[in-house]
Amino acid sequence: MAIAKKTPAEIVTQRFEYAPAPEATEHVKVEPRYSLFIGGRMLEPHSKKRFPTINPATEEQLSEVAEADEVDVDHAVVAADKAFGPWSRLSPSRRARYLFRISRLIQERARELAVVETMDGGKPIKESRDVDIPLAAAHFFYYAGWADKLDWAFPNRKPRPLGVAGQVIPWNFPLLMLAWKIAPALAAGNTVVLKPAETTPLSAMLFADICRQAELPPGTVNIVTGAGKTGSLVVSHPGVRKVAFTGSTEVGKLIQRSLAGSGKRLTLELGGKAANIVFEDAPLDAAVEGIVNGIYFNQGHVCCAGSRLLVQESIAEPLLEKLKVRLSTLRLGDPLDKNTDIGAINSKAQLEKIEGMVASGIEEGAEIYQPECKLPDRGYWFKPTLFTNVSQSYRIAREEIFGPVLSVLTFRTPAEAVEKANNTPYGLSAGVWTDKGSRILWMAERMRAGVVWANTFNRFDPSSPFGGYKESGFGREGGLHGLLPYLELN
C-alpha cells in the first residue's frame, strides 16, 4: 500500500498541542539571602553588600547573594590554604570517599538542583534535569575514581597537588561548570576558591550545602559570589597557585595578561564559533536533529555550539527546507514546563547582545528566517533564528553570538569545507555529518578544533577531554587530561 507523502507544510500543521506540564517547585527552598561559603560556614560578607539574582523567564527576584570584596576573597583563600595541608595529606582513598559522597548527594538532590538551575538561568527543565545535573554527578563520580589512582595515571612521575585553585565560571552551565572545576581539583589533592557567575549563583549555594552534608573538611571548598571584580580578586590573589577560567575570550585574555610572570598555572576555556558540516551523503533527518541540538540547545548559550552550518551545495535546498519545518515545531516558553525546548535568554544584557548581532546580520545583507512563535510578555526571549545568504566576512559568521542564531554557509568540496571551518579565530569544536567513516577521519585530521563530533553533536562524557585551540583557550577539562593542570609531576 502506498503511503501518501506529506509536504513539509502539512507536517507543520500536524503539530501536537500539549497541555502545560510545569515541574513542581514547592519542594525547593531558596533562601531570601545568601552569605559566603568560607571555611565550611556561611559568613556574612565584610563588604556588607548584596545583589539580586532574578529568574530571567519572569524577571522576578529569586534571592540576594553576597558581593565578596578584597577582604572576603582573602578570607576564602586563607581558609583554602589552611585546609590544603590536611586535605593533600589525607589518604587518597579517603579523598575519593568524599567525592563519591558529593556525587551521591547531587543525585539525591537532583530534582531540587534542576529546578533551581532552571529558575535562576532560564534553561528548559528537561535540559537541567537530563543533562546538567546528571553530568555534574557523573563528573564527581569519574574523578572520585582517579583520586586514589594518581600514581597509576602518571606512572613514575610522583604527582603532587599544587595548592589553592582559584576558579571562575560562567552562567550557561552553572553546576556543570562547577563540577568540571572542583572535581579534578579535589581529586588531585588541591583546595578551591570558586566564583560562580553573577546571574546564576544559586546552584553553587546549594552545592555549598552539599559540601556541608558530605562533611567535607572545612575550607576544602570555598564559594565566593560577586561579579567581574570579585572574579579578578580571586585570580590575582597571591595565595592562589592555579587559575581555571571559563568565560569570554575578552576576559580570558585579560586574565592571561594579568598573570604573566606570576608563576601561577592557568587554563582557559573561552568562546567558540563551531562549524557543523553536512555532506551530501549524510542522513538528512538525523543531521537536522543534530543541527537543532547544536545551536538551539540551551538557547545557544553554549561555547561549543554549532553556530555555523556548512552544508554541501547539492543538498542545501532540501536540508534547509527540513530545518525550517523543524524550527517551527520547537516549543518556546516557560522553562519549567517539561515540554519546553527553548527557554529564556539568561539576562537582559545577553538578549541585547543577541539582538545587536542579529541586526548586524540583516544590515550586512543576510536573509533571516524565524518561525512563527509567540513570546511570553515578561522575561527575556529570542526566537530560534537562522540566516541564509551569509558571507564569511559577516559578523554573524565570525563572532560568537551565544544565542539561538544559526548562520548557514555552503561549500562544494571537502577541501573547501575544511578551509571554511578553520577560517575562524576560535577552535573549540566541530561536527561532521557523512555516511563515510574515511571522510570523518579525513576531516577530523584537518580541523583545528578541540572536539570533532561525527554524526552527533554536543555529546559529553567525563572521561573525554574537552578544550580549545587558538582563541578558544588552552588546557583540557575531563578525562585524564583534566587532572594534569592540577598536578605537579616530578
Among the residue ranges 99-107, 112-120, 325-333, 446-454, the one whose residues contact Mn ion (CB under 5 A) = 112-120
User: Do residues 47 and 66 lie in contact, with contact meaning Cβ atoms separated by under 8 Å?
Assistant: yes
Site string for ligand NAD, 277-306 (x = CB under 6 A): --------------------------x---
Judge whether 399 counts as a catalytic residue: no
The dihedral over CA atoms of 421, 427, 431, 435, expressed in degrees to the nearest 10, equals 60
Task: Output the residue with the shortest Cβ distance to ligand NAD.
Answer: 231
Report how far Cα 364 is from the mean position of its chain's Cα atoms: 30
| Given 67, 269, 400, 471, the catalytic residue | 269
| Per-residue buried b or exposed e for 170-209, using 16+ beta carbons within 10 Å of the residue's own CB | bbbbbbbbbbbbbbbbbbbbbbbbbbbbbbbbbbbbbbbe
Residue 53 in the binding site for Mn ion (CB under 5 A): yes
Q: How far is the CB of 199 from Mn ion (least distance, A)?
A: 5
Asked whether position 198 contacts ligand NAD by CB under 6 A, the answer is yes
- Residue 103 contacts Mn ion per CB under 5 A: no
410 binds, among Mn ion, ligand NAD, none (CB under 5 to 8 A by kind): none
**Annotated catalytic, 419?**
no
What letter represents residue 138's amino acid? A
Residues found in the chain = 490
Work out whether 67 is an interface residue with ligand NAD (CB under 6 A). Answer: no
For position 53 contacting ligand NAD by CB under 6 A, the verdict is no
Report d(CA 202, CA 179) in Å as an integer. Answer: 14
Binding mask 243-262 for ligand NAD (x = CB under 6 A): ---xxx--x--xx-------
CA distance 449 to 376: 37
In eight-state DSSP terms, residue 468 is -
8 A C-beta contact, residue 300 and residue 307: yes
Grid cell 592540577 is found at 486
Q: Which does 53 bind (CB under 5 to 8 A by kind): ligand NAD, Mn ion, none?
A: Mn ion
User: How do strand 36-38 and strand 240-246 relate by DSSP bridges?
Assistant: unpaired
Neighbours of 10 (CB within 10 A): 11
CB atoms within 10 A of CB 238: 9
At 131, list the grid cell. 543533562
Helices 437-446 and 414-422, axial angle in degrees (round to 10): 40
Q: Indicate the residue among 61 and 413 with the shorter CB distance to Mn ion.
A: 61
Q: What is the smallest separation between the CB atom of 321 and ligand NAD, expressed in angstroms?
A: 30
Least gap, CB of 286 to Mn ion (angstroms): 35
Question: Could you tell me the smallest distance in angstroms from the CB atom of residue 377 to ligand NAD?
Answer: 25
Amino acid identity, position 164: V
**Active site residue: 23, 67, 303, 477, which one?**
303
SS3 of 54, please? strand
Query: Which one of 101-109, 191-199, 217-225, 435-443 is the stretch in contact with ligand NAD (CB under 6 A)?
Result: 191-199
Q: Which of residues 176-235 bind Mn ion (CB under 5 A)?
A: 199
**Mask 403-422, x = binds ligand NAD (CB under 6 A)?**
--------------------
Of 182 and 235, which has the nearer Cβ to ligand NAD? 235
Please report how close the Cβ of residue 255 comes to ligand NAD at its closest, in angstroms: 6
| Separation between Cα atoms, residue 155 and residue 146, nearest integer Å | 13
Tell me how crowded residue 276 is: count the other CB atoms within 10 A of its CB.
27
Letters for 344-383 (x = contact with ligand NAD by CB under 6 A, - = none) are ---------x------------------------------
Using only C-alpha atoms, the chain has a radius of gyration, in whole angstroms, of 23
Q: Tell me whether residue 174 or residue 290 sits nearer to Mn ion (CB atom).
A: 174
| Shortest Cβ 296–ligand NAD spacing (Å) | 16
Q: Which residues pair with 63 in a beta bridge?
A: 53
Residue pair 182/194 in contact (Cβ under 8 Å)? The answer is yes
Q: Is the Cβ of residue 201 or residue 218 nearer to ligand NAD in the bound state?
A: 201
- The verdict on 271 binding ligand NAD (CB under 6 A) reads yes
Q: Please state, in angstroms and rounded to a whole number, the distance separating the CA atoms of residues 51 and 339.
A: 32
Sorted by sequence, the CB contacts under 8 Å of residue 123 that are 6+ apart come out as 117, 132, 298, 299, 301, 335, 343
Closer residue to Mn ion, CB minimum distance, 23 or 117: 117
Contact pattern from residue 162 through residue 181 relative to ligand NAD, giving x for each residue in contact according to CB under 6 A and a dash for the rest: ------xxxxx---------
By CB under 6 A, name the binding residues for ligand NAD: 168-172, 195, 197-198, 227-228, 231-232, 235, 246-248, 251, 254-255, 269-271, 303, 353, 400, 402
Residues classed as catalytic:
269, 303
